[in-house]
Amino acid sequence: MRFVPDVLSAPKTGRRTWLLVHPKGLVARREGDSLVFPTDEEAAKLGVDVVAAHRLGLLDDTDAMAAPVDGWIDPPFELFGLRMLAGFLEPALFADIGESLEETLVREVKEEDARA
């Protein structure tokens, strides 16, 4: 997996890879020794709000899109915490995903506090 961070939000390719941030980790599936992230179709099935997504850069030959997702995640996808991700991802992508996971967890804690 080759990740190139990019601050421009405009898509550069016709294809997207979804980095879906769940309160318990990142959504992906294992394929041998690598992770595979959801496609547009798979992200739609998981109920992703594309309006809430933001572009992180290029992942291989696709636009890497990050978005929050909640609820139950069905196989073949599973949730990967930061420790698990560290073994799979290159440092630049790991850093961006780590920030997204942290933002999601902080937002969830604030929402829980507001309900209490």
Query: pLDDT tens digits, residue range 35-61?
Result: 899 999 999 999 998 877 888 888 888
pTM given for the model: 0.76
Element spanning 18, H or E: strand 16-22
User: Is it the case that residue 24 has pLDDT exceeding 70?
Assistant: yes
> Residue 20 in contact with residue 77, Cβ under 8 Å?
no
First to last CA, the chain: 42
Position 102 confidence tier, pLDDT thresholds 50, 70, 90:
low
Task: Please provide the CATH number assigned to the domain covering 3-115.
Answer: 3.90.79
Average pLDDT value over all residues in the chain: 82
pLDDT in the model for residue 103: 66
7 or 52: whose pLDDT is higher? 52
Q: Which pairing describes strands 78-80 and 54-59: parallel, antiparallel, or unpaired?
A: unpaired
CB 92: neighbour CB atoms within 10 A? 14
Residue 86 in tokens = 């560290």
Domain spans of the chain, in order of start:
3-115
Determine the pLDDT at residue 108.
Answer: 59
